[in-house]
Amino acid sequence: MYTETQVIRNNTKVTVDGALDGTGEMVINVGPQHPATHGVLHLVITLNGETIQKIEPHLGYIHRSIEKMSESLSYRQFIYVTSRMDYLSSHINNHACAMTVEKGLQLEVPPRAQVIRVLMDELTRVASHELWWGAMAMDLGAFTPFFYAFREREAISDIMEETCGARLTMNYMVPGGVMADLHPNFQRRVKDFIKLFKAKIHEYDELVTGNIIFQNRMKGVGVLSAEDAVSFGCTGPVARASGVKSDIRKLYPYEIYDKLEFDEVTETAGDSFARYMVRMGEMHQSIRIIEQLIDNIPEGDFQAKTKAVLKLPKGEFYTRVETARGELGVYIVSEGGTTPYRIKYRSPGFSNLSALDHMARGSKLGDLMATMGTLDLVIPDIDR
């Protein structure tokens, strides 16, 4: 296979086996149906031997026009659909949308709802990083870690199921607070989970982090410098692994993050192993946040009183939050009606993917899996 742009630009003929005539280069497709792309991502890779010359990501295979769809939904309705963007941090997506609507309504969220939201966000972050850890180890050929990761993730899924009613697409955050109060078992089960996590996290390091094969495949692979991370617009663990302080929870604190004690995990190497270590560190920091909050959930309402029909005043509203993958921005333009005039999502995956070509150029095809795995791509988040 080949791309038309490739052939037109190089003015070359393509032979039957995919090689470009006269250049010694070859174009191969990774995806859209490839297990290592975690979804329908289509990478057109130009190879010289086994060395990557160029990567062209082709998007659009899972484009569901969420932004356009939201224009015909009310301010309560459009939130549920954002669970389907970055489905591994659906709570945080819903949180960003609810916060934007609250900004427009100038609504004060009760303290109990704020704490519940932060607790849910951090549980989601741990769950997301657990899944990333398992899936990335599987990309590199280690199958067992996937089951270890899912054991802990299952505990979080059960907590979510009990309180929110769903395991993946929760739709729990509503404008003004959260949809339902915490389940009576919530505190006990979260404490059980923290105990389980602390008892089992050393296995992660024994199985994967310390493994010599893993380290050799990760260190020095897919290096992204701090300047490049900034110029490509990378956020989240990808930017922090290059030494860029980009945690929205620290830089632009929302809800109660400014009152919490946690560290922004950064590394300086910028390679795949640094990104791995940042995410491992973030799991510990999230657990630290949960520990601070779980015994201090204030009493009170879980939802502020809102009108039956929400109308945002005319204007533009923007909020950003830190999802498990980076900075998610929600931009709403309102004409004063019951539905948004325009919604734009600034998703972390899209910007992080744009750095892939730069990171992988000149490296071998086998290293691409390590680079792509540590970018933690969720394809519906890129396409929307």
Interaction site with another protein (CB under 8 A): 73, 76-78, 80-81, 144, 151, 154, 161-166, 169, 171, 174, 179-180, 183, 203, 206-208, 210-213
2 versus 75: smaller Cβ distance to another protein: 75
**Distance between CA 245 and CA 267 in Å, rounded?**
10
Nearest approach, Cβ of residue 80 and another protein (Å): 4
**Least distance in angstroms from the C-beta of 212 to another protein:** 4
Q: Output the smallest distance, CB 12 to another protein, in A.
A: 44
Min dist. Cβ of residue 144 to another protein (A) = 6
Cβ proximity to another protein: between 161 and 192 the closer is 161
Minimum distance from residue 182 beta carbon to another protein (Å): 11
CB of 369 to another protein, least distance (A): 19
> What is the smallest separation between the CB atom of 198 and another protein, expressed in angstroms?
16
Nearest to 271 by CA among 376, 148, 374: 374
Task: Evaluate whether 243 touches 237 at the Cβ level (below 8 Å).
Answer: no
Which of 53, 169 has the CB closer to another protein? 169
Main-chain dihedrals φ then ψ at residue 347, nearest 5 degrees:
-95, 145
Please state the closest distance from residue 85 (CB atom) to another protein, in A: 14
| Nearer to another protein among residue 171 and residue 225 (C-beta) | 171
Beta bridge partners of 223: none
For another protein, the closer of residues 25 and 130 by Cβ is: 130
Of 43 and 310, nearer to another protein (C-beta) is 310
C-beta closer to another protein: residue 37 or 90: 90
Q: How far is the CB of 356 from another protein (least distance, A)?
A: 29
Closest distance of CB 345 from another protein, Å: 17
- Our CB check for another protein shows the closer of 77 and 292 to be 77
When the beta carbons of 280 and 355 are compared against another protein, the nearer one is 280
Is the Cβ–Cβ distance between 329 and 22 less than 8 Å? Answer: no
Instruction: Map the chain to HEC letters.
Output: CCCHHHHHHHCCCECCCCEECCCCCEEEEECCCEHHHCECCEEEEEEECCEEEEEEEECCCCCCCHHHHHCCCCCCCHHHHHCCCCHHHHHHHHHHHHHHHHHHHCCCCCHHHHHHHHHHHHHHHHHHHHHHHHHHHHHCCCCHHHHHHHHHHHHHHHHHHHHHCCCCCCCCEECCEECCCCCCCHHHHHHHHHHHHHHHHHHHHHHHHCCHHHHHHHCCCCCCCHHHHHHCCCCHHHHHHCCCCCCHHHHCCCCCHHHCCCCCCCCCCCCHHHHHHHHHHHHHHHHHHHHHHHCCCCCCCCECCCCCCCCCCCEEEEEEEECCCCEEEEEEEECCCCCCCEEEEECHHHHHHHCHHHHHCCCEHHHHHHHHHHHCCCHHHHHC
Q: In the complex with another protein, which residue's Cβ is closer, 158 or 264?
A: 158
